[in-house]
Amino acid sequence: MQELWGRKVLKKEIENIEAAEEQSQKLLTMQEVNEKTIQCLRCGQVQSKSIVQLFNGHFFCPECIQLGRVDTSQDFYHLPEPNPVKRIVNFAWKGQLTDGQQAVSNDLVASVKKGESRMIWAVTGAGKTEMLFKTIHHSLESGYRVAIASPRVDVCLELYPRIQAVFPDEPAILLHGKMEERYRYTKLLVCTTHQLLRFFQAFDVLIIDEVDAFPFVDNPLLQYGVNQAIKTNSSLVYLTATPTKELTKKTTQNQLKTSILPARYHRRILPVPKMKWCSRWHEKIKKGNSPKTLVTKIRTLVNKNDVLIFCPSISLMEKLKEAVEKKFPEVPLACVHSQDPERLEKVLKMRNKEYRILMTSTILERGVTFDGVSVIVLGANHDVFATSALVQIAGRVDRRKEFTAGEVWFLHDGCTKAMKEAIKQIKKMNTLGIERGLIDEM
């Protein structure tokens, strides 16, 4: 019955139901809050009874229905997570951390030893994953159960093989909405934050990567899931390059310990975005023209590097592509967005230098690395470009060891608070990196 350890699942999710009926604990699926409302105990959301009543008189939860319907006619099956037992775990990582990474790694191990939570604020391209290895190793050897969760499935897919390579003898599992592999008990997991809703007091250490990314950010359902999934005495680790206001506030109020890594592993400063006025960009593109400032900028940048152009909307982007193609008939280019079925192929082609220009929606704002690129944010003053998006976008440039003098440009017709804030944040990190001796003079 190991499959129920630290889990909270419905009958239909269980393979051996006879054994489960006999051995497991039953937990309530929903609980009345008052006469009018009822709370789902998987996702924590409170519903108005009149809206969620079924024909048979029971109530259900519409919020987490994609994980299988929870209703008051059912129970959750659960078994408590066993107590940790110390053991030896093979650790195959032979890499070397930079001084900055090492300091963060030490902080994190110390936090886990004390059972406290910590935020790691590391700039884009800092090499976050490597800083976790020591902590994961220590945790597994302590007999702890460890999960690394991310709101983004592509992050999970990339992370899982890397983790497996570091702990080659450790059984591990990858959990996300589209997986085919059946759930089995492991001490080491990589999963999407949605999958945490199926756990109950399971983890001694829970690491959440990209904690500021959609759909986790501002999502009470997923945050309830996190709180349910961890043990009472446990360490919650937040990883981010662009912390939310809420997390920053907790840090300044000393409610959450924080380690900052202000420099990349290659010891160069983060490229600071430059602003350039681009009047009436929206109108011009709508009419099928490419703004002159943009054309001039592309011309200079494309001499040295490939160019990523971030656009605020898909319809504008498609119009812009045609206009730019006319100006640069010799330059291979494409555009990509979240609904594009060829999204992965196009990203690969850009990586392989088959395109020189790639226009994109905010879909490529994080999680991707290209060699030798410059970035233009067209209409940087548009609402979709929040501070965190702009910092992440700027962070696409100069990630590789080899220096290619990539640049970041915000083209706009009205500077926003988000633009100023993004530049301020990047400069602040650079100053901190220099102060700490983590950046070399160029």
Residues that bind Zn ion (CB under 5 A): 40, 42-43, 61, 63-64
The torsion angles phi and psi of 391, rounded to 5 degrees, stand at -65, -45
Toward Zn ion, which CB reaches closer, 63 or 365?
Answer: 63
Cα 105 from Cα 113, distance rounded (Å): 12
* Shortest CB 62 distance to Zn ion, Å: 8
* Shortest CB 40 distance to Zn ion, Å: 3
Cα 242 from Cα 24, distance rounded (Å): 42
Toward Zn ion, which CB reaches closer, 64 or 237?
Answer: 64
Toward Zn ion, which CB reaches closer, 41 or 174?
Answer: 41
Toward Zn ion, which CB reaches closer, 38 or 386?
Answer: 38
Toward Zn ion, which CB reaches closer, 134 or 194?
Answer: 194
* Shortest CB 70 distance to Zn ion, Å: 5
Burial, 99: exposed, middle or buried (Cβ in 10 Å; 0-12, 13-18, 19+)? exposed
Q: Nearest-CA neighbor of 422 among 381, 373, 389, 376?
A: 389
Residue with tokens 């912390």: 243
Toward Zn ion, which CB reaches closer, 63 or 306?
Answer: 63
* Shortest CB 78 distance to Zn ion, Å: 16
For 214, residues 6+ apart whose C-beta sits below 8 A from its C-beta are 151
Toward Zn ion, which CB reaches closer, 58 or 276?
Answer: 58
* Shortest CB 7 distance to Zn ion, Å: 16
Cβ-closest position to Zn ion: 40
* Shortest CB 153 distance to Zn ion, Å: 20
Toward Zn ion, which CB reaches closer, 120 or 226?
Answer: 226
* Shortest CB 14 distance to Zn ion, Å: 19
Toward Zn ion, which CB reaches closer, 167 or 200?
Answer: 200
Cα 439 from Cα 266, distance rounded (Å): 8
* Shortest CB 228 distance to Zn ion, Å: 11
Dihedral sign of CA atoms 213, 215, 219, 223 in order:
negative
Cα 422 from Cα 410, distance rounded (Å): 11
Toward Zn ion, which CB reaches closer, 42 or 198?
Answer: 42
Toward Zn ion, which CB reaches closer, 63 or 81?
Answer: 63
Q: Are strands 25-28 and 75-78 parallel, antiparallel or unpaired?
A: antiparallel
Cα 441 from Cα 263, distance rounded (Å): 13
Residues 145, 199 contacting (CB under 8 angstroms): no
For 146, residues 6+ apart whose C-beta sits below 8 A from its C-beta are 136, 139, 140, 187, 188, 189, 203, 204, 205, 206, 207
* Shortest CB 314 distance to Zn ion, Å: 32
* Shortest CB 42 distance to Zn ion, Å: 5
* Shortest CB 44 distance to Zn ion, Å: 7
Q: Are strands 30-32 and 274-277 parallel, antiparallel or unpaired?
A: unpaired
